[in-house]
Amino acid sequence: MSTTKYIFVTGGVSSSLGKGIIAASLAKLLQARGYRVTIQKLDPYINIDPGTLNPYEHGECYVTQDGAETDLDLGHYERFLNVATSQANNVTTGRIYQSVIQKERRGEFLGKTVQVVPHITNEIKSRIQKLGKTGDYDIVITEIGGTVGDIESLPYIEAVRQLKWELGDDNALVIHLTLIPFLKAAGELKTKPTQHSVKTLMESGVNADILVCRTEHHISMDIRRKLALFCNVKQEAVIESIDASTIYDVPNLMLAEGLDTITLSKLKLSDATPPNLEHWNGFIKRLKNPKSEVQIGLIGKYVELQDSYKSILESLIHAGAENEVKVKVISIHSEHIDKTNIAESLKGLHGIIVAPGFGERGVEGKIEAVRYARENELPYFGICLGMQMAVIEYARNVLNLEGANSSEMNADTPYSVIDLMDEQKSITNKGGTMRLGAWKCNLKKNSIVEQVYNSETIEERHRHRYEYNDEYRDQFEAAGLIATGTNPDTGLVEIIEIPTHPWFVGVQYHPEYKSTVANPHPLFVAFVKAALDHSENE
Ligand code: GLN
């Protein structure tokens, strides 16, 4: 008998309804009642992981502590729950097939025909139960990517059907997230797409236990009754999920709708302890009552898609609330800026972030933005590629090393101040081969970062192939660009600062992956504070 309870979240009618936010919000409520909860995402595409995907495909690639390149929903899980996720929390179809095929080659199915059912479905089931079997969780929530009815989703839905049957109704339930569209011309909310979607699920032998209905207008009792009757669920299991002004409102909205109580009652778990959301609500209060506003420029080349820089945007929200200031983010496309328009492009900003990225496109605009921030005492925060850009800018414009560059952008640069890491030189495969996950870093005494972290050693998550070239370190330091964070084992420079500038910090790692509601990241908090100081001194 399993003691871990399993919740499956499927989606219907449309993609982008926010399954990740619903899963994270329910998890938050259950956690706030004292349950140990984790969330897992199953992605039906064939890439082994999203590390090889352009951000335009599915948004940013999130990186876990143990170095998994994952779907951005894992970022929501961590930001809501403040519990680290791992490799086991994100599985793709590619990964499932890869393990089944490897087993076949090892002879583990010797004599048998290897098939989608049972071999692929068994592998999916074992991936789902792997987290439960650690004994670390009372409840595992599994979000199935895609929309029911998709060809790619079929083996996952079949695995859910089998698991539900094996585990029994008290131990597993299905939440189906759908859309209730509002037809303006008719002035009505329409339930038909949801009825069809629930039927599609039923054709695969899966009944939805709870319906979460995304809607722009409140759902009346009549509509709830109709949905319950035609979708085979109890009326109290029809949960309205109305558009919210911030994703951080969703746990409270779900609480008001009773999503947690219906879940607990179906899983025969106690709801005696009310959820303790004191800290969470303190955050919401600060978020909604800012005392002032700062404008931060986010300079990158994927700015057309909000999801490309999801974790950075969320980290700024956390840091804004912490400082009781509204952070207005102005996205600036790095390909649209050059020497002639830089002052105009950055006008009115109180701080800038140069975003992570890969490849040559848009790089010169980023370097121009760094120069402007450095010369005009504008708070500067460079993340990963943004740190590398700051190093290149300093080399070109302060050290006068003409043509200095990263060997990623120009293999023939006369001054490769950013260069391929030694361990990367023999690597040819692109997937999962960057320097990934958490690495230690020692901070220099009396640096900005030592004060910000209030610690001598930190651990942050990475995703890169290129690094600060140590051969130039003496030149940089003599000219005022100081290395203030280094890896204790390799000496790799992870952080640079300009001590004579009000706030100029570049980090080779990604602090945005570690900012949560419970623990806003200290670097983002300090950067927003610096922007606030800048705005007050204008
Ligand atoms: N392209 C750079 C590298 O590989 C920076 C990567 C990033 O910004 N994540 O080193």
424-460: per-residue pLDDT in tens? 999 888 999 999 999 999 999 999 999 999 999 999 9
Task: Tell me the per-residue pLDDT of 340-397, one tens digit each, with 9 for 90 and over.
Answer: 999 999 999 999 999 999 999 999 999 999 999 999 999 999 999 999 999 999 999 9
Contact at 8 Å (CB) between 338 and 310? no
Q: What is the pTM of this model?
A: 0.95
Ligand 1 mutation target, pool 466, 468, 510, most atoms within 8 A of CB: 466
Task: Tell me the per-residue pLDDT of 217-259, one tens digit each, with 9 for 90 and over.
Answer: 999 999 999 999 999 999 999 999 999 999 999 999 999 999 9
Q: Going by C-beta distance under 8 Å and a sequence separation of 6 or more, which residues neighbour residue 237?
A: 209, 210, 211, 228, 262, 266
Q: What angle do CA 470, 472, 474 make, to 5 degrees?
A: 95
512 lines ligand 1 (CB under 6 A): no
Nearest to 457 by CA among 471, 446, 443, 469: 443
Find the DSSP H helices in 237-384. Answer: 250-257, 259-266, 278-288, 310-323, 342-345, 363-375
d(CA 24, CA 250): 9
d(CA 489, CA 469): 16
Contact at 8 Å (CB) between 393 and 370? yes
d(CA 532, CA 323): 9
Q: Which amino acid is at 388?
A: Q
What are the structure tokens assigned to 141, written together?
Answer: 């929530």
How much is the pLDDT for 475? 97
Going by their DSSP bridges, the two strands 504-507 and 380-383 should be labelled as parallel
What one-character-per-residue DSSP string does 361-390 give? TTHHHHHHHHHHHHHTT--EEEETHHHHHH
356 lines ligand 1 (CB under 6 A): yes
Nearest to 530 by CA among 268, 350, 394: 350
What are the structure tokens assigned to 61, written together?
Answer: 């690639």
532 lines ligand 1 (CB under 6 A): no
- Distance, CA of 103 to chain centre: 31
Nearest to 140 by CA among 81, 96, 63: 81
Q: Which amino acid is at 261?
A: T
Nearest CA to ligand 1 atom 5: 385
Q: Which residues are identified as catalytic? A: 384, 510, 512
Cα distances from 429 to residues 426, 434, 441, 496, in angstroms, run: 10, 10, 27, 30
Ligand 1 mutation target, pool 63, 358, 389, most atoms within 8 A of CB: 358
Q: What share of the chain is helix, strand, coil (3-state, %, to 5)?
A: 40, 20, 35
Nearest to 263 by CA among 347, 175, 134: 175
d(CA 407, CA 45): 32
465 C-alpha to center of ligand 1: Å?
A: 6
Ligand 1 mutation target, pool 299, 361, 388, 418, most atoms within 8 A of CB: 388
49 lines ligand 1 (CB under 6 A): no
d(CA 24, CA 44): 20
Q: Which residues of the chain have pLDDT under 70?
A: 1-2
What one-character-per-residue DSSP string does 57-122 give? HHSPPEE-TT--EE-THHHHHHHHH-----GGGEEEHHHHHHHHHHHHHHTTTTTSPP-IIIIIHH
How much is the pLDDT for 55? 86
- Distance, CA of 345 to chain centre: 28
Q: Which residues pair with 139 in a beta bridge?
A: 5, 37
Contact at 8 Å (CB) between 417 and 395? yes
d(CA 281, CA 266): 27
d(CA 393, CA 501): 15
